Amino acid sequence: MLRAGSFRIVRRQSGNYSTVTTGADNALTGIGNQRAVQLLADPYDPNPTVDHYLNRAAFGSPATGTYSLLRPFTMLNPSSMQIDTGLSRTFHVLEGQNIQIRWEVFNVPNRLNANAPVTALNNANFGKILSAQDPRIMQFALKYVF
């Protein structure tokens, strides 16, 4: 008798939150990376891409010697969705001995799941998404059980 098994896992995750910083010590405290000032109501690029996720014009630096009133963790990062699946089949060889063949696929649709954008205003890459989670990965396994 042949038996086949499979599983599917769907993981949908809203984006986590980031803080936009100046990347400098505007408050003159000796501690850098103070929060930026949000100048526009919508901080996101009108047509977001990995090269322009946050709108640079939406942020500025606070006046020298002052702090920003922007709360930390207010910028929502991109969401992600991943579908993982696998197939396995067990073959009975002898009494008490089996061979299992397994094929697993992670991120089946090969969807781009972007990480957080650069959020330091003094960085030339501000608002860009420079990294992502894993692309589609497939693995095969052969297991001998005795």
H helix and E strand count, the chain: 0, 8
Helix (H) or strand (E) holding 98: strand 97-106
Query: What is the mean pLDDT of the segment spanning 74-94?
Result: 92
**pLDDT confidence tier of residue 6, bands split at 50, 70 and 90:** low
Q: What is the pLDDT of residues 97-117, one digit of tens each?
A: 999 999 999 999 999 999 999
Q: Give the model's confidence band at 19: pLDDT under 50 very low, under 70 low, under 90 confident, else very high.
A: very high
Type of residue numbered 72: P
The domain locations on the chain are: 3-145
Instruction: Give percent of the chain above pLDDT 90.
Output: 80
Q: What is the pTM of this model?
A: 0.76
In three-state secondary structure terms, 138 is: strand
Name the percent of the chain in helix, strand, coil, to the closest 5. Answer: 0, 40, 55
If pLDDT is split at 50, 70 and 90, which confidence band does 8 have? low
